[in-house]
Structure 1
Amino acid sequence: MPAEHEIRADFDRDTIVVYQAYAPAIADAAMAAGRFVPPFSVRRMTWIKPSFLWLMHRSNWGLKAGQERILAVRITREGWERALSMATLTSFDRRLFRTPDEWQAQFRAAAVHLQWDTERSLRGAALPYFSIQVGLSRHVIAEYVERWAVSLADLTPRVRAMHDLLRSGQAEKARKLLPPEKVYPLRPDLARRVLIDA
């Protein structure tokens, strides 16, 4: 059983994969350019998630309007950990903040927001542990686009195939198409900041 709070991700020595769901116009432009370009906006918050199945739940397997295309964005681990180092939780937690007022002041000033959402199974059932989601504000999105992002991959065909398999009762075949995920290690100060071993 995974820990209540841990980061599970597809990563290697230098990079980590995060997932995002976009409208076709944004995904098409990004894939054509090999990087995020307009109509992607660097002036509004964007959320990145290392859990593939959480995004499948959130986007209903890419069937929600405006979330039809599933992109895997490989970013540097340095960028990922920089985002975590700037992050403030989206809700008060007494393990990290002395008072709600202290949390609110930090949250309002934060360039990065962070929340833990209930992780999901292949069929969308709630699991008894959480998945991390990181919101990058307009103050850091340019850095994400220009310095952290290493490559983009369009996983939409795989997502469609997996969804079709699930609908036809072939869950084990769908499971074999899941991207790999393992526990991402964090140094102690970052782990405490994001409620891991806090």
Structure 2
Amino acid sequence: MASPNLNMRDPVMYRILHSEHHRTGNKWCIYPMYDYAHGQSDSIERVTHSMCTLEFEDHRLLYNWFIQQLGIFPSQQIEFDRLNLTYTLLSKRKLLQLVEEGHVSGWDDPRMPTLVGIRRRGYTPEAIRNFCGAIGVSRTNGVIELAMLEHFVREDLNKRAARVMAVLRPLKVVIDNYPENQVEEMEAVNNPEDSRAGTR
């Protein structure tokens, strides 16, 4: 009880809940708490490094203590800062509210900052990997500019996307000094970054 870490002061290992479980029915009424189950699950599955966001940093002492007391495979908990982007809502609770209230069509709505959402927006896996590689893993709270993510998307698409043009609202132009049956065609490259993309 004298520990400066509140998590170490008489930690709760499990709770008793007399409720039917979807798999075991009424056989058990004991449900392990997160701090008790976390290290054991990692140990059983032989997870060497358990990656958590910084809000679990003060739980690491308890994580290690349970593993030591049980004498099981010593998984190691490591904390890192969560990704924060400017102008972007990343709270799962708030994103769920947007879905449930019908403000977006679902988790794969292109406006959603989810993997399925940004995939529908045209972001490639390579662009996301390059972005993650550039920002790295940090232990300090920070906010990454959304423009940086968009830079990596543009950079990746610039290498692979075909160039096309369309005239959405054409204007009719009459040229009166050009031979009536003469046709001229011009060739344009599909991607100036990749000659293998051919021409059109």
**Fold match, TM over 0.5?**
no
Higher strand share: 1
Give the TM-score taking structure 2 as reference length: 0.24
Higher relative contact order (CA 8 A, sep 6+): 1
In our comparison, the structure showing a higher alpha carbon Rg is 2
